[in-house]
Structure 1
Amino acid sequence: MLIPHAFRLTKGMALKQSILNYISKHRIQAGSLLSVVGCLSEVRIRLADESKVLELEEPLEILTLSGTLTPAHVHVHISVADQSGRVYGGHLVEGCVSYTAEVCLASYANLTFQREFDPQTGFDELIVSKSRQ
């Protein structure tokens, strides 16, 4: 069963940590982001080479934000546009909301998500299980 959630973040809130706090508070065991609309004053994005982090401190519009949500971890990818319309994207390390961020997500009552280290990839990877309801 899919359960929709929506909430708003305000100026100065940490984007990724605030989503994780919501997941924890509402005891969501498995979820995904549907949409996030808003703006950031700064963002840190890990680029595709897995070693470089892009740090931007300027007005930014959130274009896309997608990810899988577990009780202990949110794996989120983001794209943002600067004042000139240049687009940057990658793995969200963290970002700070400048005015607002409207978050819509879904939780899955029939699933449990967790992450476990995968020696083949070197990362904590998603493990999907049926929920014990």
Structure 2
Amino acid sequence: MANLYVKKLEGRSGRQLAYRLAYGCDLLEALQGIVAEEDVRFGSINFLGSVLKAKVGYFLVDEKRFITMEMDQLMEILSGLGNVSLKDGKPFVHAHVTFLDREGKIHGGHLLPGTIVYAGEVFIEEIELPAPPERVYDPVTGLALWK
């Protein structure tokens, strides 16, 4: 059978946290601040709401770099998904987001700083592990992946 995965982690359910975000805050900075304040070292994040403007990235595999897309309009967050792991020994949020604009068009990508919240709700599910994974640079993909 072919190798289906590189790493398997098994832990216990930890804290279940929920937050209402402040109007005008930066979405990624808020998520990052919450996990740092709560010392969430590993877990999942989901969020919804709306934004005043958005900034997302798309990874160009051939060039191993992100390009940035900005949308300066009010949009609904249809789905926000992410995880928390360690990077440089500190809690780090990796999130993707899908938006809907007023014309029914879908936008999305890798969440970047510069996405400003109109209204938002965040749910974090902590997973307790003896040794949470650390993100390190992977030369094959050009991304910071779990070691």
Question: 2:135 and 2:47 mapped to 1: Cα distance?
Answer: 23
Question: 1:86 and 1:48 mapped to 2: Cα distance?
Answer: 21
RMSD over equivalenced CA pairs, Å = 1.4
1:93 matched to 2:112? The reply is yes
1:106 matched to 2:117? The reply is no
Larger CA Rg, structure 1 vs 2: 2
Question: 1:72 and 1:122 mapped to 2: Cα distance?
Answer: 21
Of 40-49 and 80-89, more deviation after overlay is shown by 40-49
Code of the residue aligned with 1:15 in structure 2: it is L
Q: Which whole-Å deviations, capped at 9, do the CAs of 1:35-82 have from their partners, x for residues lacking one?
A: 312110011111243543110011110001111112442111110011
Q: How many residues align?
A: 125
Runs of 4 or more, structure 1, over 4 Å off, are none
Q: Which has the higher strand share?
A: 1
Q: Which whole-Å deviations, capped at 9, do the CAs of 1:1-47 have from their partners, x for residues lacking one?
A: 212110110111110111111101111110111x3121100111112
Q: Which runs of 5+ in 1 are unaligned?
A: 128-133
Write out aligned runs for 1:68-87 (5 A): 68-70=83-85, 71-87=90-106
Write out aligned runs for 1:23-102 (5 A): 23-33=35-45, 35-49=46-60, 50-70=65-85, 71-94=90-113, 95-98=115-118, 100-102=119-121
Of 56-65 and 110-119, more deviation after overlay is shown by 110-119
TM-score normalised by structure 2 residue count: 0.79
Q: Which runs of 5+ in 2 are unaligned?
A: 1-11
Of 110-119 and 100-109, more deviation after overlay is shown by 110-119
Deviation at 1:126, TM superposition (A): 2.0
Q: 1:131: which partner in 2? A: none
Q: Among the aligned pairs, what percent are the same residue?
A: 24
Question: 2:133 and 2:38 mapped to 1: Cα distance?
Answer: 15
The DSSP-based 3-state class of the residue aligned with 2:76 is: strand
